[in-house]
Structures are given as structure tokens and as C-alpha cells.
Amino acid sequence: MDKHFTVTIHDENGVKQFNIHKILKKVFIYIVALIITIGLISFGAILYLNHSVNAMQKKKETIAKAYKELQLEDSELQFHIQKTSQLLKEKQSELEEVSDSLSDIEELLGLKPIAKATLQERVNITKLSSEQRATLLELVPNGSPIEYHGITSKFGYRIHPTLHKREFHKGSDMKAKLNTPVYATADGVVEWAAYHKRSAYGKLIILVHSYGFKTFFGHLHKIVVKSGEFVKKGTLIAYTGNSGMSSGPHLHYEIRFLQRPLNPFWFIKWTQKNYNQIFEKEKKVPWQSVIKAISQIQLVKK
């Protein structure tokens, strides 16, 4: 017969008896079941955590590998960047030297740099070919319109020989005998070829040239061209005289750029031999723009 304790409880509902041995047995069974359940749960959790740790370790290794590859690529990229930067600095230094040399040439030529002009454009402008220079000297007034024997009245303020008062002389009075041949100093179109009543120039020829230039030939005796006619440089256009308000036979010669009078003397003396002189002497003309336009002309070889 098993030994066990019996607990008897009396209450208003009656008498209840509990067998302690059976309760302990059930408690033990429950505890064992709980331990087994906890053990299984713990084992499953350990397996899951172990799997997660392995997965995280693999990811870590993959990330570490990718990081090393990125470090290697970054190192190579930094090397190329430094090398490229060094090359750029060298090229920049070379370009600065070229630009400085080009500035010296532009200064020598009397050229003012055009805003936003590229280095290549500046180089092209300063290295006009002989053919392009010849074209420039065909289109822009240069040389003497008559056989040169000197200037009797210079450009600028003077005492008028007839009116005897101080005035601004817009041209140069060139010494010449009556009926000395007068020639066009550049290609152009005849704007005026007749007696000019509104001025003291008498018989007057006005030629319109390229790039905003005009030439005036006053006090003529005979005109041999007509208004609207195209003339080439060196074309005979008139003969000198004493018409208008003049104290004697001579040629009044004017050059204007956009209606502004320029000193004709420097243009009279301008030739291929002293090609650069005009850029130093005449600062009122934006020569850089004029030369750039000339440099873009495509010359057709015959």
C-alpha cells in the first residue's frame, strides 16, 4: 500500500480531500513537460540564431570584400585624379604662357582682346596669312590717294586759311598741283560724286568701304566716277583742283570710321612694309574685330 498524505478540508459545501502524492506527481510531470518545452524552444532559438549569425557573418564577409574592392578602386581613382590634375596644371601653365606670349604679340600689334574670345580665335587673328593681309589692305583705306609730296595742313585744330578762325580740321590737306590724278585707297562704293553745296569741299567724292570706313576727297577739279559705282583700290576717281573754299590747288583727304574722323596720315603711310604701325598709332578703331572678320574670309585660290 502506497504511502501518501491526505488533506481534508471542511467548508459550507462539505468535506474535500486531496491526495498529496498525486498532486506532487502531476506537478513533477508539468515541470518536466515545461522543461522539455523550454529546452525545445531554446534549441530552436539557438538553431535560428546560429543560422542568423552565419548569414550575418557571410554578409559581413561580402561587405568587407566589397569594401576592400572599393578601397582599391578608390585608390586607383585617386591616383588617376592626381595624375589628371597634374596634367591639367601643366596644360594650364602652358596655356598661360601661350596667352602671355599672345598678349605680348597683341600689344605689339596694338590689338585689344575681344571679350569672350577663345585662345584659338586670338591665335588665328594674330597670324593672318599674307593673302589675308593683302585682303585687309584691299578693303580698309591705306596708302596715298595721290603721289605723295607732303601735308600742307594737318589733321586736328588749326586756324582756317580762308576764314582765319580756329576750327577742327577733319582731314589732311595733301600738297598737289592742279589735275593731279586721285585714286581710291580701298575697294568701295561711290556714295557721292558731285559738287557739295552744304560744305566748303567743292567738288567732292565720298567712298563707302567695308567695316564702317569712309573716305572723302575734296576740292576736286574733275570727277571721273558716278554715284553708286563700285571701285577697286587704285581706281582713278578724280583729278585735284581748287573748288569750294580753298586757298589753292590741293587734295583734302578724310578717313572716317562710323562717322568719326580719323587722322589720315597714319593710313597714308600704312603699307605691307609697316603693316603693324597702324595698330599702334590709331586707337579709335577696334582692330581686333576687324582682323577677326578678315581672318574668317575664305580665300578662293584661282
Query: Is there a single domain that holds both residue 63 and residue 166?
Result: no
Q: Note the pLDDT tens digit of each residue in 178-192.
A: 999 999 999 999 999
Query: Is there a single domain that holds both residue 153 and residue 69?
Result: no
Q: What is the pLDDT of residue 294?
A: 85
C-alpha distances out from residue 195 to 82, 191, 192, Å: 75, 13, 9
Query: Is there a single domain that holds both residue 66 and residue 159?
Result: no
Query: Is there a single domain that holds both residue 155 and residue 260?
Result: yes
Q: What percent of the chain has a predicted confidence (pLDDT) above 90? A: 39
Whether residue 165 has pLDDT greater than 80:
no
Query: Is there a single domain that holds both residue 165 and residue 61?
Result: no
Q: Please report whether residue 290 resides in a domain.
A: no
The answer to whether residues 289 and 136 touch, using CB atoms and an 8 Å cutoff, is no
Question: Which range is least confidently modeled, 9-18, 141-150, 213-222, 231-240?
Answer: 9-18
Q: Note the pLDDT tens digit of each residue in 106-120.
A: 554 555 555 566 666
Whether residue 21 has pLDDT greater than 80:
no
The answer to whether residues 229 and 212 touch, using CB atoms and an 8 Å cutoff, is no
The answer to whether residues 185 and 215 touch, using CB atoms and an 8 Å cutoff, is yes
Whether residue 302 has pLDDT greater than 80:
no
Determine phi and psi for 240, rounding to 5 degrees: -65, 155
Question: Which three cell numbers, joined as nine digits, stand for 291?
Answer: 582682323
Mean pLDDT over all residues of the chain?
A: 84
Residues 6+ apart with CB under 8 A from 232: 138, 184, 187
Q: Cα(196)–Cα(199) distance, rounded to whole angstroms? A: 6
Q: How confident is the model at residue 213 (pLDDT cuts 50, 70, 90)?
A: very high
Q: Please report whether residue 115 resides in a domain.
A: no
Q: Please report whether residue 106 resides in a domain.
A: no
Query: Is there a single domain that holds both residue 178 and residue 59?
Result: no
Last residue of a domain, one of 22, 45, 73: 73
Q: Please report whether residue 189 resides in a domain.
A: yes
Let me know if 182 is exposed, middle or buried by CB neighbors in 10 A (0-12, 13-18, 19+). buried
Q: Cα(287)–Cα(85) distance, rounded to whole angstroms? A: 37
Q: Please report whether residue 229 resides in a domain.
A: yes
First and final CA of the chain: distance in angstroms?
Answer: 142
Last residue of a domain, one of 44, 73, 102: 73
Q: Note the pLDDT tens digit of each residue in 46-103.
A: 888 888 888 888 888 888 888 888 888 888 888 888 888 888 888 877 777 666 665 6
Residues 6+ apart with CB under 8 A from 201: 216, 218, 219, 243, 244, 252
Query: Is there a single domain that holds both residue 167 and residue 69?
Result: no
**If we measure between CA atoms, which residue out of 168, 111, 142, 73 comes closest to residue 283?**
111
Determine the average pLDDT of the residues in 217-225.
97
Last residue of a domain, one of 45, 73, 101: 73
Question: Which range is least confidently modeled, 81-95, 140-154, 174-188, 205-219?
Answer: 81-95
Q: Please report whether residue 47 resides in a domain.
A: yes
Query: Is there a single domain that holds both residue 159 and residue 257?
Result: yes
Query: Is there a single domain that holds both residue 67 and residue 169?
Result: no
Q: What is the pLDDT of residue 143?
A: 96
Q: How confident is the model at residue 259 (pLDDT cuts 50, 70, 90)?
A: very high
Whether residue 15 has pLDDT greater than 90:
no
Q: How confident is the model at residue 177 (pLDDT cuts 50, 70, 90)?
A: very high
Q: How confident is the model at residue 212 (pLDDT cuts 50, 70, 90)?
A: very high
Q: What is the pLDDT of residue 181?
A: 98
CATH code of 173's domain: 2.70.70.10
Task: Report yes or no on whether pTM surpasses 0.95.
Answer: no
Counting the structural domains of the chain, the total is 2
Please give the residue range of the domain that contains residue 32. 6-73
Residue 152 corresponds to which amino acid?
Answer: T
Query: Is there a single domain that holds both residue 157 and residue 248?
Result: yes
Question: Which range is least confidently modeled, 18-22, 165-169, 206-210?
Answer: 18-22
Q: Please report whether residue 66 resides in a domain.
A: yes
Q: Please report whether residue 196 resides in a domain.
A: yes
